[in-house]
Amino acid sequence: MGNLGAPELILILLVIVVFFGAKKIPEIAQGFGKGIREFRKASKDIQEDIAVDEAKMISGKNCPSCNSQVIEGAKFCPTCGKSLVGINCAQCHTLNPVGSKFCKECGSPLAG
């Protein structure tokens, strides 16, 4: 059971011709072909997106807090949630590097 031979395929084709008519079969086949093409294109796009994300992960950087690898351009670490872009000083509003304890401009202690 489960193996389709030539007689079974001919019977299926005859049922399709009777059910849909000979004029509708090319339209159905064309729609089926378009559906397969769209599915392949979407599958290819997803594979390309995954490859780009993996390339970004490889060329990315490590979080200074937990040392986990992060995607290039990320603003927060997905593992520990800490900022990767820096800390703003509350007094002079200077952007300081991640991990700084004191502001590089005014020397005041940084929160975070």
Answering whether pTM is above 0.75, one says no
Domain boundaries, given as residue ranges, for the chain: 6-59, 74-112
The predicted-structure confidence for 59-99, as pLDDT tens digits, reads as follows 567 777 788 887 777 778 888 887 777 778 888 888 887 77
Helix, strand counts (H, E) of the chain: 2, 4
Pick the residue with more confidence: 39 or 60?
39
In this prediction, residue 60 carries a pLDDT of 63
Residue 44 has pLDDT above 80, yes or no: yes
**Residues in Cβ contact with 77 at an 8 Å cutoff, skipping those fewer than 6 apart:** 63, 65, 66, 68, 70, 84
Cα distances (angstroms) measured from residue 57 to each of 43, 46, 50, 99: 21, 16, 10, 22
Average pLDDT, the chain: 81
**Could you tell me what percent of the chain has a pLDDT over 90?**
12
